[in-house]
A = this chain, B = another copy of it.
Amino acid sequence: MIRSIAPSDIVAIAPDSGIDAAVHGWRAKCLQRLVRMDLPVPPSHALAAGAVRALAQGAVLDLDVLRALFQGGTGLLSVRPSAVKPEWGGPGTVLNVGINDACHARLVETRGQKAADSIYLGFVQAYAQNVARLDFDSFDSGGENALQRALALYRQEMDEDFPQDPARQLAEVLRSMARAWDAPTARILRSAKGAPQDAPLGLVMQQMALAIGPGVTGSGTIQTVDSVTGLPVMTGRFKGQMQGPAKGQGAQTMYLTRDTRGDSLEDLAPELFADLVGYCAAAREKLRDEMQIEFVLSDGKLSILDAVRVNRSSRAAVRIAVALAQDGVIAPAEAVMRIEPRALSELMHYQTDPNAPRDIIARGIDASPGAATGRIVFSAAAAQASAARDEPCILVRRETLPEDIRGMHASVGVLTERGGMTSHAAVIARGLGLPCIVGATGISIDPRARLLHCGTRSFREGEEITIDGTSGEVLAGAPALLEPALDDSFNQLLDWADDFRDMGVRANADTAEDAHTALMFKAQGIGLCRTEHMFFDEIRLPIMREMIFADTPEDRRIALARLLPIQRQDFAELFRIMAGLPVTIRLFDPPLHEFLPQHREGMRELAESLDLPLSDVTRRIEALSEFNPMLGMRGVRLGVTVPEIYDMQARAIFEAAIAAAAIGAPVVPEIMIPLVSARREVEIVKTRVDAVAAAVRTETGTDFTYRLGVMVETPRACLRAGDIARHTSFLSYGTNDLTQMTYGLSRDDAGRFMGTYVQQGVYPEDPFHILDEEGVGELLLLGTERARRVQPGITISVCGEHAGNPQTIAFCHRAGMDYISCSPFRVPVARLAAAQEAIRSKAQPKG
């Protein structure tokens, strides 16, 4: 049923009128606050959202009620959208509603022919486009007699004169804006910003303050911080003879503050400028944020039309929030809540300057944030050579393999043709804090010709490109970059965050370098040290291969004995750096074939170095190859069937712990068993590790303690967590593998269709990016509940890639995780996200 709009649906915006942001929108509420602050806001009225919706559905407006709004002032109105949140947008503002021939004639007298024509023409154009739905371009002819031509064209197209009744004009504008709100594109755009399906829209009608006319007249905006840096500086613009975004005839821009280069508002109207500065300060204080104020000067009279939150870069957002809290305007908790955790990663890396030109040659998945410029290299060897020449390089590969790690270390950025958010390249790059783009569509690599093809363009090895891992864009050449901003504000914000945080944050760290980064970002320990990455360097890989080719356990033990001191050194170094903080070491995980050469050439070399016939080598490699390596002979399955490897690692850990204690960095190492699916696997490994511990204690005469835990990566380990918890001090969910197995989806192969899947809404998100709470999440909750039922004191955490994602961190907090562990460069994000979830959960107590 279509209702008619009641007079009570239109409320005058006054200090004590009943304005409600949920009904009238944020803009109406904000204007009321400005009114309450005694700012010179022109008379304004708010139309309630219910009425707007009714209008869209054909409700009738009483023109007499509308007519009253034009009384006093210029007799003209602006109409602006007022959604519940500014970011939900809304239809474009319409200015100068109410202008007609009579009003135009009056304006010619008071403001001159040019100003009057400009104002009337602007409205005719807006009306023709938005209300009458005519082609805007036809009305945008410009030049002499533009107004007359526009009015004539309107008459011709619509078969009637341009409407002269201001109330009818207003009624049509309101209805057109109400309908525009329901357009599909508008819906999609605002739902992307989190608006619900039935998001309401209020409208604000304000008396026009004319910015065209005699004297110091014009419109402008002013704010007291820089939008990019967040530093305190009076900034904005003032354009004489110009109102709103419409093209005014003869508009003239001037500086806001005194400037040697030309006229400034401060010079021309020092008192009004002082008023504006005062208004900004007041608004910051009362509206509790940095505001951009929109004003009109009309022959010396100042009107404040609106105030909106200052647009801001991530780094500006941090500086503003911290400054507000330091000035006592907001509480530290609120400063913490105001920063989108994801935004922090922008502060930690180089960024492409948003204002600089960019020559985009390809797009891919933004796998690791930050920007870097370097010369193209196509192999790990070339990357190392380039690094040796001190020439920054970008490693460009079809995909990366474990043996590329040293090449990645030597590069400033990585670009791969294949792979998704959790491909090898992506995971390693995030760990190294290296900008990385994977799954770049439309590129192809010709390693022989040493060419990178991007669509129709080609780049040779050595040519300079830039990776923007934040946006996923590959750029030609070297655009301007912004430096990281790990400044006082950044640190202050995170220190406050730590005050509220009640869930631990550790880092995944495999190397001394990782550990240093983790400490720099104040991680509370290492939650995942992947020991297999330690076996790929030039010294170790040959011993590793010898071990794999050993014919007997005895031969294997001999090879492992040569790896022992190296591993011990690895762990001792980590313990020393972490200086007593907990370190969780995952025992060897990958299938052995990852350590063997994949190509004929490498096999030949291996055969030579092992002094074996080539056929022996190829046969062994073939025998170790697997159909589905992800689901094969790895993790604890190796630990059970080739137990010598874990024996060696356990010994290295214990001996390193003793060494660390001796230099004053006592540690209780945490040994984690990967890929468990049954209780008995844990018992078998535990028995052997305990035996190694006993042997080391006896040999060294030194006592030490350690904790044994399980990496929960299979759905079965979640289901049987009660069983498994009986034998373990901690459980840590490896959510990458768990996601793979829960979905039956390999992270390496998912890239091929994940785009389509997310686009079609088959999956709401890439589950390797944001934890699937409905499926994988249920397994986490179930496992946690079962483990705690058996052993209430057990430590439970998440150490997968997801642990760096704010949404997942919030889930982990709700799930009662003791800590999460993420890439070192994700630690600040995690600290902030965890703090926010803690604050939220205190604000809304459970149950």
Contacts and interface: CB of A to CB of B under 8 A. Distances in A.
Interface of A: 626-633, 637, 640-641, 675, 677-678, 680-681, 684, 713-716, 719-720, 737, 740-746, 748-750, 752-753, 756-757, 760-763, 772, 774-776, 778-779
Contact of A628 (B684, B720, B748): B748
Nearest to A740: B631
Contacts of A675: 744
Contact of A637 (B640, B753, B776): B753
B684 A760 contact: yes
Given A716-B743, A744-B675, A627 B737 contact: no
Contacts of A633: 749, 752-753
Among A630, A762, A778, which residue has the most Cβ atoms of chain B within 10 A?
A: A762
Nearest to A424: B627
Given A628-B748, A633-B752, A753-B637, A677 B778 contact: no
6 tightest A-B CB contacts, nearest first? A631-B746, A632-B749, A628-B746, A716-B775, A714-B744, A715-B715
A819 B775 CA distance: 27
Among A720, A743, A778, which residue has the most Cβ atoms of chain B within 10 A?
A: A743
A629 to B, nearest CB: 7
Contacts of A629: 627-628, 749
A553 to B, nearest CB: 13
Contacts of A744: 630-631, 675, 677, 713-716, 737, 740-741
A772 B680 CA distance: 14
Given A627-B749, A632-B746, A637-B753, 15 more contacts: A626-B749, A628-B746, A628-B749, A630-B744, A631-B740, A631-B745, A640-B762, A641-B753, A677-B743, A677-B745, A678-B762, A684-B762, A715-B779, A716-B743, A716-B776
A743 B761 contact: no
A677 B681 CA distance: 29
Main secondary structure of the interface of A (DSSP, over half): helix
A758 to B, nearest CB: 11
B753 A640 contact: yes
Contacts of A763: 678, 680
Among A680, A713, A749, which residue has the most Cβ atoms of chain B within 10 A?
A: A749
A778 B631 contact: no
A746 B627 contact: yes
A678 to B, nearest CB: 6
Contacts of A752: 632-633
A177 to B, nearest CB: 35
A714 to B, nearest CB: 4
20 contacts: A628-B630, A630-B746, A631-B631, A631-B740, A631-B745, A632-B746, A637-B753, A637-B757, A640-B753, A640-B760, A677-B743, A677-B745, A680-B761, A680-B762, A713-B744, A715-B744, A716-B744, A720-B774, A720-B775, A740-B744
Contacts of A641: 753, 756-757
Contacts of A628: 628-631, 746, 748-749
A775 to B, nearest CB: 4
Contacts of A753: 633, 637, 640-641
Contact of A719 (B680, B737, B779): B779
A39 to B, nearest CB: 50
A722 B716 CA distance: 20
A753 B629 CA distance: 14
B630 A627 contact: yes
Among A630, A737, A778, which residue has the most Cβ atoms of chain B within 10 A?
A: A630
Contacts of A774: 719-720
Nearest to A625: B749
Nearest to A772: B716
A714 B743 contact: yes
Given A627-B748, A631-B746, A741 B715 contact: yes
B745 A742 contact: no
A740 B749 CA distance: 17
A761 B745 CA distance: 29
A399 to B, nearest CB: 9
A124 B87 CA distance: 102
Given A629-B627, A678-B762, A756 B716 contact: no
A761 B756 CA distance: 44
A637 B756 CA distance: 10
Contacts of A637: 753, 757
A453 to B, nearest CB: 13
Contacts of A631: 628, 630-631, 740, 744-746, 749
A716 B742 contact: yes
A640 B755 CA distance: 12
A752 B629 CA distance: 12
A590 to B, nearest CB: 13
Contacts of A720: 774-775
Among A626, A628, A633, A752, which residue has the most Cβ atoms of chain B within 10 A?
A: A628
A355 to B, nearest CB: 39
Contacts of A627: 629-630, 746, 748-749
A745 B677 CA distance: 9
A716 B772 CA distance: 10
A760 to B, nearest CB: 7
A741 B628 CA distance: 11
A676 to B, nearest CB: 9
A323 to B, nearest CB: 45
Contacts of A716: 742-744, 772, 775-776
A778 B719 contact: yes
A641 B761 CA distance: 13
Contacts of A719: 742, 774-775, 778-779
B630 A762 contact: no
Contacts of A742: 677, 714-716, 719, 741
A619 to B, nearest CB: 9
Nearest to A761: B680
A502 B700 CA distance: 67
Contacts of A713: 744
Nearest to A679: B762
B626 A757 contact: no
A834 B640 CA distance: 37
Contacts of A749: 626-629, 631-633
Nearest to A630: B628
A686 to B, nearest CB: 13
A628 B628 CA distance: 4
Contacts of A630: 627-628, 631, 744, 746
Contacts of A632: 745-746, 749-750, 752
A801 to B, nearest CB: 17
Contacts of A677: 742-745, 775
A771 to B, nearest CB: 13
A757 B632 CA distance: 13
A772 B678 CA distance: 11
A763 B681 CA distance: 9
A637 B743 CA distance: 11
Contacts of A760: 640, 680, 684
A716 B678 CA distance: 20
A626 B423 CA distance: 13
A753 B741 CA distance: 20
Contacts of A746: 626-628, 630-632
